[in-house]
Structure 1
Amino acid sequence: MRHNVYAYFLLAALGFGCAGRPSATNPITDSAKLSEAAPKYASTITADDLSKHLHIIASDEYMGRNTGEKGQKMAAEYISREFREDGLTGPVQNSTTSPYYQTFDLEKSVWGEGYLRVGNEKYLMMQDFFVLGNSPFQTEQAVDVVFAGYGIDDPKYSDYNNLDVKDKVVVVLAGEPKDRQGNFLISGTDKASDWGNDYRAKRNAATKNGAKAVLIVTGTNPGEFNSLTQRYKAYASRPSISLKNDQSNPSAASIYISPVAGAALLGTTTDKLFDYGNLVTQAGKPVAANFTGVKDVKIKTERIATPLPTENVLGFVEGTDKKDEVVVVTAHYDHVGVDSTLTGDQIFNGANDDGSGTVAVLEVAEAFAKAKQEGYGPRRSVLFMTVTAEEKGLLGSEYYSENPVFPLENTVANVNIDMIGRTDYDHEKTGNDNYIYVIGADKLSSELHAINEEVNEKYVNLDLDYTYNDENDPNRFYYRSDHYNFAKHGIPIVFYFNGVHADYHKPSDEVDKINFQSAEKVARLAFHTAWELANRENRIVVDSNKK
């Protein structure tokens, strides 16, 4: 009898011991214990595995992964298969293709006939003006023209005060005004603001005030106009890809126009048009112009569009006690395809841009999935998303941000990886490959910035370079990768980036130039940051209004 009792207690003890061990059905939710486990799972992210993945998706077989084309589809299939085999779930409900795919149609379009008639004069698209983005003038339309100075609508300086531009076309000067000392009126310094650097600021102001289009007079003479717009001419002559235009709330069309055509629209000369800037400088504020829009103006900018199906690829690790909150880890898996006009290598394999970030996401996802299987899954859910069409204007991430699979209000942060494992111009000079540029971590959350620095010091020891985090840096990288479509919705982000090098956007961006030991360290840094975001007790604070 005693032997039977002993056996019972032994079995019970063993049973309770098993029940007490962490497992997928009995996970750890203690932040301290999860933190202790982090190095084990970070160590599964290896240079060899990164290399294995990248040698596949950045091979010639994938033909440069151009959005909507065969190579991009092959990459999507590879990524989704890796997610599935690693144990991540596909979170897209009611998908007609795969629960790992967020499918949608972009528009591939080319310009057709385009012109601007001013009385009997005809100015031609691609010669006298260029459209940036969409345009409402699919067929010829008569328009009312209004001059709106520099097109600025800022608390410090507004060209729209007491100006009715509703449903009209506004003609504005490029750049922004200066004072008599040569400083810009908006900033009060020698540094231009977004009003002078980014045409979208003038487009948004025109849209807010109800205009149909903003025509930005560029250059001071025909030669200068041609020089300044050369790259737009090359861009506009090729097919472009965009999200479908939402006609329910369209933005004002943005058009770069030559000084001659701009002056003709206002019934004046180019000399008188540009003298307006001198009047503003003398006054130090907007002044009334002595010219007005002519009456007989018609515009046509025909656009011929066809649908282009594509997909973001999503893998999901569900959280435990805080599963309704989500950390998103991203990279873009598209590149720019093939250029058959080149001699020699014609395939843009995009090993660094952004094959490197894509394979880092695969490795970080595998580490989180393995942790979950062993009972150390994240408290918050983690969405791993490789996005399409970044090279076409951050379109895949923009589509997700407008059509989120998980509510944006529940999205804690975005960790974005775009180009790792190379050394840029500045660090080549010093022979330092133990660095990474960190961008945006402090813009919306001081806690995210602190987390990134703390886990780096504790686990990775990279040199964190904040050069491109400066708001005045002219490269504006903060606005140039997929994290920005989260940041503009108030979601904290951190962006890891190795900087630009001689192979950027060239066929020579090949796998053999990747330093996989460096990429391993950055991928582990991304892992540790995401791990801390997912497992800490409190959601990180949003304590800045930076967008």
Structure 2
Amino acid sequence: MRRLTPLCALALLSACSPNSAETEIQAATELKPVQINETRFRNDIKALSSDEFEGRAPTTHGEKLTLEYLSKAFADMGLKGAFQGSFLQPVPMVTYTADENQQITLADLPFQYRKDIVVSSRHDNGGVDIQNAPLVFVGYGINAPEYGWNDYQDLDMKGKIAVILVNDPGFARPDSGKFNGKAMTYYGRWSYKFEEASRQGALGALIIHDTEPAAYPWSVVENSWTGPQQDLVLSKAEQDSRVQVEGWLTLDTAMKFFDKAGLQLPNLMARAADSPINLPLQQTANIAFKNKAEYANSYNVVATLPGNQQADEHILFTGHWDHIGMDDTKEGDKIYNGAMDNASGIAGILEIARQLSDNAKQGHGLARSVTFIATTGEEQGLLGSRHYAANPIYPIDKTVAVLNLDSTNIFGKTKDFTIVGKGKSELERYLEDAVKGQNRVATAEKNPANGGFFRSDHFSFAKLGVPAVFAGGGSEPVDEATANYKTQMQATMKGCYHNVCDEYHEEWDLSGAIQDLEVYYQVTRTLGNSQDWPGYYAGTEFNSLRPAKTELAGATK
């Protein structure tokens, strides 16, 4: 027990309030090891991914139920509503719904919506009616001066539609030294490709889907890019500069109209991987469909556990509460429950918040504040996190780090711990230390080509220089029994990413997820009682925004 100061001891009854004495007693209690409550964790996943929540699409009844559930949970913990006393931060959204009846021809060949091509428009214009727009192949659609690469060199894209390869040249030529080898850069992301086509003044942009470099099958595109599509409400200038139509087409579809143009797409793909390329196809596109725009607020749920010394410095937890919702055009099961993606991550955030708030009530609070952000619209392009990053409740320069939970481990305990995009920031060292305490080893993801670092909410903060990690799970089961279970469960969940079969299973082994939650908890306690400000290593995209104090060579790889 800490000793009372002499002054306080002499004036115990007058100067030392009951609250002070209570604090002394609380501070004397031993901080117990974290004990994640699996039953509570499991029940949160089960509830949030139930049919009652209708797939948790933004601006729907499912959102209303989700916001009520999360707000009550944070209130019960005694956390503070971060947005003007409320847990709900408004995120102005517009929902675009493209009519299913679409007339699409490329090189005078008709193609079927959903089966061959998926297109939409993020404009409040009543619809799209594009006639005889020239098609231009622009390789990977990249303009990256630092790599000496510009697929748009000397091109005027006004009134034209860009046809673009997925991923970046490093994937096709991993040993060439181009870009980052198999590990996707931001230039390989679909969001970048649409943004760059817009900057180039293009009328439209179509990405050629190819399963291996995309890292997901066509079904993911069909399920995710059809039906209502949410976006942030943009300024008129931002809106006007955006391509009129954006979408995806299958590789087979592309092959057909390239053949019609007298060109061999495989040969052009090889050329595009070797050097920048742009080539008018001497063919045109006709695209027509009705488009509806509806405006409504969605909400991030933001709750803060105030620090007791450096309360203006915040560690952020992010995880998206939204999923795809319902699709009434489907036969049978119409609900995208999103149990693994991302009811599991939100349940993890809730459990970590409960542990930290319980500690604070027992006199073991953190010096720094911890803020939990359950974001909206991640599935539509990181909308909630982008809005928070652009309109932060707490200043970005007072944001120490971001820890992101998205699709937690349902396959049992592992010997390793995956850090997506490993090697970017000093924040990873805190995870590595916590993992060592579990006799595990931190490793990079097995498939860096899928660009995981750029695909979840932490990236909205990384772009502003805040060290951010997306981590968890592993590839090596802890024993043979777990390996056998993992094989069986992977077969059960095969094809369920962004599909209606991503549903809760009672037989899920959540012990591996609990391992990972304990890592995040330990990192939060360590960093939350620290004066450290982690930064990005030299040579990474965000080093200039918040540079590391140490060299990458000093970090465990």
Shorter-normalised TM range: 0.7 to 0.9
Once the 2 structures are TM-superposed, how far is the Cα of residue 209 of structure 1 from its aligned partner? 3.1
SS at match of 1:65: coil
| CA distance in structure 2 between the partners assigned to 1:490 and 1:406 by the alignment | 15
The match for 1:391 among 369, 379, 386 is 379
State the AA in 1 paired with 2:292.
Answer: I
The match for 2:75 among 64, 72, 84 is 84
| CA distance in structure 2 between the partners assigned to 1:43 and 1:527 by the alignment | 8
The match for 1:310 among 286, 298, 302 is 298
The match for 1:466 among 410, 426, 443 is 443
Once the 2 structures are TM-superposed, how far is the Cα of residue 46 of structure 1 from its aligned partner? 2.4
Once the 2 structures are TM-superposed, how far is the Cα of residue 533 of structure 1 from its aligned partner? 1.9
The match for 1:476 among 438, 451, 461 is 451
SS at match of 2:291: strand
Are residue 457 (structure 1) and residue 436 (structure 2) matched?
yes
- Could you say which residue in structure 2 is the equivalent of 1:5? none
Map 1:87-486 → 2, pairs under 5 A: 87-93=78-84, 99-112=86-99, 115=103, 126=113, 130-131=118-119, 134=122, 138-140=127-129, 145=134, 147=136, 149-150=138-139, 151-154=141-144, 155-165=147-157, 167-172=158-163, 174=165, 187=178, 191=182, 198-215=189-206, 232=221, 236-249=225-238, 250-252=241-243, 253-256=245-248, 269-272=260-263, 274=265, 277=268, 280=271, 285=275, 300-337=288-325, 341=330, 343=332, 349-423=337-411, 433-434=413-414, 437-440=417-420, 442-446=422-426, 448-458=427-437, 461=438, 463-468=440-445, 473-486=448-461
Pair 546,133 (structure 1): closer, same or farther in 2 beyond 3 Å? farther
State the AA in 1 paired with 2:462.
Answer: A
The match for 1:72 among 39, 63, 75 is 63
Once the 2 structures are TM-superposed, how far is the Cα of residue 365 of structure 1 from its aligned partner? 1.6
- Contact 2:435–2:442, Cα closer than 8 Å, also in 1: no
CA deviations over 1:135-186 (Å, ceiling 9, x no partner): 6874546787474642343433433333333x3424446369999x988877
| CA distance in structure 2 between the partners assigned to 1:327 and 1:81 by the alignment | 22
State the AA in 2 paired with 1:79.
Answer: L
Pair 100,280 (structure 1): closer, same or farther in 2 beyond 3 Å? closer
CA deviations over 1:227-285 (Å, ceiling 9, x no partner): x967645655533333335542244343446999989999x952247598399589x65
| CA distance in structure 2 between the partners assigned to 1:258 and 1:454 by the alignment | 44
- Contact 1:351–1:514, Cα closer than 8 Å, also in 2: no
| CA distance in structure 2 between the partners assigned to 1:27 and 1:133 by the alignment | 62
Q: Structure 1 stretches of 5 or more lacking a match?
A: 1-7, 220-227, 424-431
State the AA in 2 paired with 1:238.
Answer: G
Once the 2 structures are TM-superposed, how far is the Cα of residue 333 of structure 1 from its aligned partner? 2.5
Are residue 498 (structure 1) and residue 488 (structure 2) matched?
no
Once the 2 structures are TM-superposed, how far is the Cα of residue 383 of structure 1 from its aligned partner? 0.7
CA deviations over 1:185-215 (Å, ceiling 9, x no partner): 7729985965995444443433333334334
Pair 370,311 (structure 1): closer, same or farther in 2 beyond 3 Å? same
- Contact 1:260–1:269, Cα closer than 8 Å, also in 2: no
Once the 2 structures are TM-superposed, how far is the Cα of residue 518 of structure 1 from its aligned partner? 3.9
- Contact 2:312–2:398, Cα closer than 8 Å, also in 1: yes
- Contact 2:179–2:185, Cα closer than 8 Å, also in 1: no
CA deviations over 1:477-516 (Å, ceiling 9, x no partner): 3233222222222211222333793334454632523435
SS at match of 1:474: helix
Map 1:21-60 → 2, pairs under 5 A: 39-40=31-32, 43=34, 45-60=36-51
CA deviations over 1:69-96 (Å, ceiling 9, x no partner): 3333223212211211221111112xxx
- Contact 2:150–2:276, Cα closer than 8 Å, also in 1: yes
Given the two structures, how large is their TM-score scaled by the length of structure 2?
0.72
| CA distance in structure 1 between the partners assigned to 2:512 and 2:436 by the alignment | 16
Equivalences, count: 499
- Contact 2:183–2:451, Cα closer than 8 Å, also in 1: no
State the AA in 1 paired with 2:204.
Answer: A
- Could you say which residue in structure 2 is the equivalent of 1:12? 11
Percent of paired sites with the same residue: 22
- Could you say which residue in structure 2 is the equivalent of 1:509? 503
Once the 2 structures are TM-superposed, how far is the Cα of residue 385 of structure 1 from its aligned partner? 1.7
RMSD value over aligned CA atoms? 4.7
The match for 1:532 among 508, 526, 537 is 526
Please say which structure displays the higher CA radius of gyration: 1
CA deviations over 1:270-307 (Å, ceiling 9, x no partner): 2247598399589x655786x6767x987655421223
Pair 524,109 (structure 1): closer, same or farther in 2 beyond 3 Å? same
| CA distance in structure 2 between the partners assigned to 1:82 and 1:160 by the alignment | 50
Given the two structures, how large is their TM-score scaled by the length of structure 1?
0.73
- Could you say which residue in structure 1 is the equivalent of 2:548? none
| CA distance in structure 2 between the partners assigned to 1:177 and 1:92 by the alignment | 39
State the AA in 1 paired with 2:155.
Answer: L
| CA distance in structure 2 between the partners assigned to 1:265 and 1:46 by the alignment | 56
| CA distance in structure 2 between the partners assigned to 1:312 and 1:490 by the alignment | 21
| CA distance in structure 1 between the partners assigned to 2:524 and 2:429 by the alignment | 13
SS at match of 2:506: helix
State the AA in 1 paired with 2:455.
Answer: R
| CA distance in structure 2 between the partners assigned to 1:201 and 1:82 by the alignment | 36
- Contact 2:184–2:449, Cα closer than 8 Å, also in 1: no
Deviates more, 1:53-62 or 1:308-317: 53-62
CA deviations over 1:378-402 (Å, ceiling 9, x no partner): 2222111222333344332233223
